[in-house]
Amino acid sequence: MINYKKLNRKLKSPYAIGLDIGGTKALIMITDSNGTLIYKEKVKSSGKIHRIVELINDSLFKVKIPINQIIGLGIGVPSATNSNEGIVMDAPALEWVNLNLKKELERHFDFPIYIDNDVNFAALGEKWKGTAKKSNNIFFIAIGTGVGSALILNGALVRGHSYEAGEIAYNISESDINEGIYNELGEFGVFESKISGTALSRYIDNPKQLFKMYTEDNGDVKKLINNFITQISINIVNAVNLVNPEYVVIGGGVSESMDIVLEKIQDSVNELTPVKTTIVLSSLKGDAGALGAIAYVLER
């Protein structure tokens, strides 16, 4: 058991809060200003502001940190986000459309609040404490229920002109067009439909089991996973050509089963472009987003 009172006396530095709000689960983390973990809890997700306020206050109460010792709060949300103003554009799972989450929460808290896309914060987490090892040039891909990505270039997050950078779910190829597949009205992502957890679960519900079956002699699974490798490699290659990242970090739920195909993806990428990059799997897994939110707070 950590003696928080003693810890608080010892650390005169203030604390940062990171909150990663997903579609079903929310993860809160509190660290000191060195990034040492003080508190971590996973709860059911909610789009209700008073539930978020409650979660933060309860967490601080549990570790006996007075609110005036908080330097800031970072929140990652599953939506394109105007991080300048703190506006969440569209998060259906939380029933938020053009919600100024920053403003809503500033009614309850005095410390600075930063809102960003969850994948953006996860990329910052991987840079800070993960496999991307403080690199200034990172392409982070999150493969979960859906597919998202984030870019850190010249040491900073790339959010894009309208905060939509990283939307590789919509990537498309010549054969898609020949087959008449489009990102019609933005309602679905063509690339996402090929490699997401949802896509893989069409064959079997458990990605872990699916990737395990790949080592066994199962023709259907071999074909499915080989296609997964090809699709992801092509899209990594074209991104690497464009932004020349030192690391490509693959995160998200599906990545936790991908050890077995990582080398094949690296080989394939090496073969398809002369621009060198190192492909790694996320080491922070589900913690990346909340940690990245804290990294962002501490950076300010």
Residue ranges that bind its own copies, judged by CB under 8 A: 135-137, 149, 151, 153-154, 156, 158-175, 177, 182-183, 185-186, 230-231, 234-235, 237-239, 241-246, 271-277
Question: CA 62, 83, 168 angle in degrees (round to 5)?
Answer: 110
Rounded to whole angstroms, the Cα distance separating 175 from 249 reads 27
Question: DSSP secondary-structure letter at 263?
Answer: H
Closer CB to its own copies, 60 or 190, in the complex:
190
Closer CB to its own copies, 24 or 154, in the complex:
154
| β-strands 70-77, 15-21 pairing | parallel
Rounded to whole angstroms, the Cα distance separating 81 from 222 reads 38
Nearest-approach distance from CB 252 to its own copies, in angstroms = 17
Q: How many of the other CB atoms lie within 10 Å of CB of 3?
A: 9
Closer CB to its own copies, 110 or 174, in the complex:
174
Closer CB to its own copies, 53 or 275, in the complex:
275
Nearest-approach distance from CB 92 to its own copies, in angstroms = 15
Closer CB to its own copies, 149 or 282, in the complex:
149
Nearest-approach distance from CB 51 to its own copies, in angstroms = 31
| 8 Å CB contact between 46 and 26 | yes
Name all contacts of 44-53 with Cβ < 8 Å and 24+ positions apart.
45/21, 45/93, 45/94, 46/94, 47/91, 47/93, 47/94, 47/95, 47/96, 49/101, 49/104, 49/105, 49/108, 52/19, 52/21, 52/26, 52/105, 53/105, 53/108, 53/109
Contacts of 93 (CB under 8 A, 6+ apart): 22, 23, 24, 45, 47, 78
Is 269 exposed, middle or buried, given 0-12, 13-18 or 19+ CB atoms closer than 10 A? buried
| 8 Å CB contact between 146 and 192 | yes
Closer CB to its own copies, 57 or 136, in the complex:
136
Nearest-approach distance from CB 35 to its own copies, in angstroms = 25
Closer CB to its own copies, 8 or 238, in the complex:
238
Nearest-approach distance from CB 247 to its own copies, in angstroms = 8
Nearest-approach distance from CB 180 to its own copies, in angstroms = 12
The C-alpha R_g of the chain, in whole angstroms, comes to 20
Closer CB to its own copies, 59 or 183, in the complex:
183
CA 90 to chain centre: 17
Nearest-approach distance from CB 269 to its own copies, in angstroms = 10
Nearest-approach distance from CB 199 to its own copies, in angstroms = 15
